[in-house]
Chains A and B, each alone.
Chain A
Amino acid sequence: MDGAFRSAADSDLVARAAAGDASAFHALVERHRAMVYRVAYQFAGNHHDAEDIAQDVFIKVYRSLNRFRYDAQLTSWLYRIVMNACIDHRRRHAPAGWAPFTEDAELRMLNTPEESPGPEDAAYGTEVGEVLEAEIARLPPGQRLVFTMRHHEGLKLCEIAEALGLAEGTVKRQLHAAVHRLRAALSASRVTVGGRA
Chain B
Amino acid sequence: MSGCGFLDAGTIELCFYGELEPAAAERVDAHVRACAVCQRHLEDLRAIRTALASRPRVDGPARGDWTSFTRRLDTAIASPATSQRMRTVVPWLAIAATLTVVTTGVLVTTRVHHEQPSAAREESSMPASLAAAEPPTVPQTAASAIAPDTAVVRDANRSLVQHSEEHFERSKLVVLGLATLDPQQARAGDWQHERQLAGSLLPDTRLYRLAAEQRGMTNLARVLGDLETVLLETSMADHPDAEALERVQRLIARRDLVVKMNVVGSGI
Contact = CB atoms under 8 A, between A and B. Distances in A.
Q: Which of B51, B73, B190 has the most CB of A within 10 A?
A: B51
B53 A117 contact: yes
Describe B's contact surface by its main secondary structure: helix
A179 B48 contact: yes
A14 interface: no
A157 B182 CA distance: 20
A42 B172 CA distance: 21
A38 B54 contact: no
A142 B44 contact: no
A183 B44 contact: yes
B89 interface: yes
A99 interface: no
Interface stretch (B13-21, B98-106, B128-136, B231-239): B13-21
Interface in B60-89: 60-63, 66, 69-70, 72-73, 76-77, 82, 85-86, 89
B193 A80 contact: no
Given A115-B53, A179-B45, A179-B48, A55 B58 contact: no
A33 B207 CA distance: 38
A58 B57 CA distance: 21
B40 interface: yes
Nearest to B39: A194
B54 A126 contact: yes
A137 interface: no
A15 interface: no
Contact of A113 (B10, B57, B258): B57
Interface string B114-143: 000000000000000000000000000000
Contact of B47 (A59, A107, A128, A176): A128
Interface in A153-197: 156-157, 164-167, 169-170, 172-177, 179, 182-183, 186, 193-194, 196
B49 to A, nearest CB: 7
B55 A172 contact: no
In this complex, the interface size class of chain A, counting residues with CB under 8 Å from chain B, is 35 or more
Contacts of A34: 59-60
Interface of B: 10, 13-14, 17, 19, 40-41, 43-45, 47-63, 66, 69-70, 72-73, 76-77, 82, 85-86, 89, 169-170, 172-173, 176-177, 180-182, 189-190, 193-194, 197, 253, 258-259, 262-263, 265-266
Given A194-B47, A196-B47, A51 B53 contact: no
25 contacts: A33-B69, A34-B60, A37-B58, A37-B59, A50-B58, A51-B61, A55-B76, A59-B77, A63-B86, A66-B89, A87-B172, A110-B56, A116-B53, A122-B54, A124-B50, A125-B53, A128-B54, A132-B55, A157-B14, A165-B170, A165-B173, A166-B177, A170-B194, A172-B10, A176-B10
Contacts of A37: 58-61
A111 B13 contact: no
Contacts of A109: 56, 58, 62-63
Contact of B69 (A55, A97, A107, A196): A55
A145 to B, nearest CB: 10
B58 A41 contact: yes
A12 interface: no
Contact of A88 (B55, B66, B190, B262): B262
Contacts of B63: 109
A37 B65 CA distance: 12
A62 B59 contact: no
Contacts of A122: 54
